Amino acid sequence: MTFKVLFIAHAPDADYKKHRSVIDTGMYKLYSIVVRTQEEAVQISKDYLQNESIEAILLCPGFKHSDVAEIFEALEGKVSVNVARGDGPSSKISAEARKKAGYFRS
């Protein structure tokens, strides 16, 4: 049996139809998709639950608590929803790097 995980990240210039990949070791299958919006993240999550029978979702640190809750509720609690977060200093480093890359526009 294969453990199937969906990793979702945000990027302002993402096109979820082409910014995706799959890693399959046989026992672990990791789907990776970059989305532009929360709405896309919710829809992708639903699609992968229905079509790929994922068991877990891992979200990038950019997802807010309310985003995580929305995804969990949209999947009716059938999938583990987790967030990759660092400690305080690491979060600041990541935020600064995303700022330099243009993620945060006024």
Q: Tell me the domain boundaries of the chain.
A: 3-100
Is the pLDDT at 72 greater than 80, yes or no?
Answer: yes
> For 1-106, where are the alpha helices, taking DSSP H only?
38-52, 65-74, 88-100
The CATH T-level fold of domain 3-100 is Rossmann fold (3.40.50)
pLDDT grade for 98, boundaries at 50, 70 and 90: confident
Cα(84)–Cα(101) distance, integer angstroms:
20
Residue 106's pLDDT band (cuts 50, 70, 90): low
pLDDT tens, 20-55?
A: 999 999 999 999 999 999 999 999 999 999 999 999
Burial category of 14 from C-beta neighbours within 10 Å (exposed 0-12, middle 13-18, buried 19 and up) = middle
